[in-house]
A and B are shown apart, each in its own frame.
Chain A
Amino acid sequence: MLYNIFIDPFVQMAQMPDLLVQTLWEGLVSGVLYALIALGFVLIFKASGVFNFAQGIMVVFSALTLVGFYEKFSAAGFSGHTAAFVALVLTAGVMFVLAMLVERVVLRPLVNQPDIILFMATFGITYVLIGFGEMVFGGDPKQMIASELFLPSGSVDVEMLGGMVSFQKIDIAAAVIASVMIAGLALFFQKTRIGRALRAVADSHKAALSVGISLNQIWVVVWFAAGLVALVTGIMWGARSDVSFALEIVALKALPVLVLGGLTSVPGAIVGGLIIGIGEKLGEFYWGPLLGGGIESWFAYAIALLFLLYRPQGLFGDKIIERI
Chain B
Amino acid sequence: MSLKNWLYALSAAASLTLPAVHDAQAEDSIYVPLFTYRTGPFAGSGTPIANGMHDYLTLLNERDGGIGGVKLIVEECETGYDTKKGLECYESVKPKKPVLVNPWSTGITLPLIPKAAVDKIPVLSMAYGLSASAKGDTFPWIFNPPATYWDGFTQILQYIATQEGGGIEKLKGKKIGYIYLDASFGREPLPLIEQLSKELGFEAKLYPVAAADMQNQSSQWLSVRRDKPDYMILYGWGALNATAVKEAVKTNYPMEKFISIWWPSEDDAKGAGDGAKGFKTLNWHAVGADFPLLADIQKHVVDAGKSQVSSKDKVGQVLYNRGIYNSMLIAEAIRKAQEITGNKVVTGEDVRRGLEGLNIDEARLKEIGLEGFTGEVKLSCADHNGHFSTFVQSWNGTTYEKVSDYIAPLSDKVGPLLDADAKAYAEKNAPWPARSEACDAS
Encode contact with A along B405-430: 1 for CB under 8 Å, 0 otherwise: 00000000000000000000000000
Given A168-B250, A294-B208, also A240-B215 (CB < 8 A):
yes
Which residues of chain A are within 8 angstroms of B238 by Cβ–Cβ distance?
244, 246
> Considering only CB atoms, which chain A residue lies closest to B244 in the complex?
A241
B34 CB to closest chain A CB, in angstroms?
15
Given A249-B211, A281-B219, A288-B219, also A241-B239 (CB < 8 A):
yes
- The answer for the CA separation of A26 and B273 in the assembled complex, in Å, is 21
Question: Which of B182, B209, B216 is most buried by chain A, counting CB atoms within 10 A of its CB?
Answer: B216
Q: Could you say which of A29, A134, A253, A292 contacts B39, with CB atoms under 8 Å apart?
A: A134
Tell whether B206 is near chain A: CB-to-CB under 8 Å. yes
Tell whether B144 is near chain A: CB-to-CB under 8 Å. no
Q: Kindly state the interface size class of chain A when it binds its partner.
A: 35 or more
Q: Could you say which of A26, A139, A143 contacts B46, with CB atoms under 8 Å apart?
A: A139
Tell whether A161 is near chain B: CB-to-CB under 8 Å. no
- The answer for the CA separation of A16 and B222 in the assembled complex, in Å, is 12
Q: Is the CB of B182 within 8 A of A19?
A: no
Which residues of chain B are within 8 angstroms of A141 by Cβ–Cβ distance?
43-44, 239, 242, 267, 271
- The answer for the CA separation of A285 and B215 in the assembled complex, in Å, is 17
Q: Is the CB of B43 within 8 A of A244?
A: yes
Q: Could you say which of B39, B219, B246 contacts A139, with CB atoms under 8 Å apart?
A: B39
- The answer for the CA separation of A134 and B251 in the assembled complex, in Å, is 33
Q: Could you say which of B44, B267, B310 contacts A246, with CB atoms under 8 Å apart?
A: B44
Tell whether A148 is near chain B: CB-to-CB under 8 Å. no
Chain B 173-210 interface residues, beta-carbon cutoff 8 Å to A? 182, 206-210
Q: Could you say which of B39, B44, B216, B252 contacts A250, with CB atoms under 8 Å apart?
A: B216
Q: Is the CB of A296 within 8 A of B239?
A: no
Q: Is the CB of B207 within 8 A of A293?
A: yes
- The answer for the CA separation of A111 and B38 in the assembled complex, in Å, is 36
- The answer for the CA separation of A153 and B219 in the assembled complex, in Å, is 20
Which residues of chain B are within 8 angstroms of A143 by Cβ–Cβ distance?
270-271
Q: Could you say which of B40, B42, B220, B222 contacts A22, with CB atoms under 8 Å apart?
A: B222
Which residues of chain A are within 8 angstroms of B362 by Cβ–Cβ distance?
none
Q: Is the CB of B43 within 8 A of A294?
A: no
Tell whether B11 is near chain A: CB-to-CB under 8 Å. no
- The answer for the CA separation of A134 and B40 in the assembled complex, in Å, is 9
Question: Which of B206, B211, B219 is most buried by chain A, counting CB atoms within 10 A of its CB?
Answer: B219
Q: Is the CB of A241 within 8 A of B226?
A: no
Given A140-B44, A240-B243, A245-B41, also A296-B267 (CB < 8 A):
no
> Considering only CB atoms, which chain B residue lies closest to A299 in the complex?
B219
- The answer for the CA separation of A16 and B228 in the assembled complex, in Å, is 14
Q: Could you say which of B38, B208, B225, B271 contacts A292, with CB atoms under 8 Å apart?
A: B208
Q: Is the CB of A294 within 8 A of B210?
A: yes
Q: Is the CB of B212 within 8 A of A249?
A: yes
Q: Is the CB of A241 within 8 A of B206?
A: no
Q: Is the CB of B39 within 8 A of A245?
A: yes
A-B contacts besides A140-B44, A245-B39, 20 pairs, CB < 8 Å: A19-B226, A23-B219, A26-B218, A134-B38, A138-B38, A139-B38, A139-B43, A139-B47, A141-B44, A166-B250, A242-B239, A242-B271, A246-B44, A247-B215, A248-B41, A281-B222, A285-B222, A288-B219, A293-B206, A293-B208
Task: List residues of B whose CB falls within 8 A of some A CB.
Answer: 37-44, 46-48, 182, 206-216, 218-220, 222-223, 225-226, 238-239, 242-243, 246, 250-252, 267, 270-271, 273, 310
Q: Which 4 A-B pairs have the closest CB atoms?
A: A139-B43, A294-B208, A297-B210, A246-B239
Offer 10 A-B interface pairs, CB within 8 angstroms, sorted by A: A22-B222, A134-B43, A139-B40, A139-B46, A153-B273, A240-B215, A241-B214, A241-B239, A246-B41, A293-B223
Task: List residues of A whose CB falls within 8 A of some B CB.
Answer: 16, 19, 22-23, 26, 29-30, 130, 134, 138-141, 143, 153, 155, 166, 168, 237, 240-242, 244-250, 252-253, 280-281, 284-285, 288-289, 292-294, 296-297
